[in-house]
Structure formats: C-alpha cells, structure tokens
Amino acid sequence: MFSREVMIDNEVGLHARPATFFIQKANEFKCAIWVEKDDRRINAKSLLGVLSLGITKGSRINLIADGVDEEEAVNALVELISSNFSESE
C-alpha cells in the first residue's frame, strides 16, 4: 500500500472537468486507488464518488493505492493535481 497527501490548488477544485481528468488517469492503472477526505474514502475510479467528496480549492486529500503499480499511480495523480489539471487559471 502506498499513499500521499496532496492539496488541491486549482480554482474549481476536483469538480466536473478536473474530476473527469482525474478518474481517466486513475483508470490507467491496475491497482485499487482511493481518495480520502476527512473521514470518507471513495474509489478514485468513480466519477460520482470523487464528485461526492466536494473537494474544493485548498482541500487536502489523501491518495491511497494498493496493487502492482500503486506507487506509479499515486505519483501520476499527484503530478496531475500539481499541474492544475494542465489547465490555465
């Protein structure tokens, strides 16, 4: 199991379009991936799950993965988030 905490810094948070990019990236990996915010943990490969967390700018989330490519998966998702989902503000 591998995990990292990351802060969401883009203006709209993890909503709509950024959430779609996030789950598309998560689905590239074989391992199980979860997003944890406060006391809730959801499947990172579920758009409705990700949207249900209400992740806004400034939120801290924990990305957790378990499986053969767990470290690569978490690092790729952190990189996507750090790039503000490759969108200019």
Tens of pLDDT, residue by residue over 46-66, are: 999 999 999 999 999 999 999
In terms of Cα–Cα distance, which of 68, 67, 89, 86 is closest to 24? Answer: 86
**For residue 59, which of 35, 33, 79, 89 has the smallest C-alpha distance?**
35
Q: Three-state SS for 27?
A: coil
Active site residues: 15
| Enclosing domain of residue 13 | 2-86
Average pLDDT, rounded, for the chain: 94
Q: Supply 35's token pair.
A: 């997003």
Question: pTM value?
Answer: 0.93
Helix-helix angle 70-82:17-26, to 10 degrees: 160
Identify the CATH number of the domain in which residue 41 sits. Answer: 3.30.1340.10
Q: Is the pLDDT of residue 44 over 80?
A: yes
Confidence band of 9 (pLDDT split at 50, 70, 90): very high
Tell me how many domains the chain contains: 1
- Say what the pLDDT of residue 86 is: 72
Q: pLDDT class for 16, splitting at 50, 70, 90?
A: confident
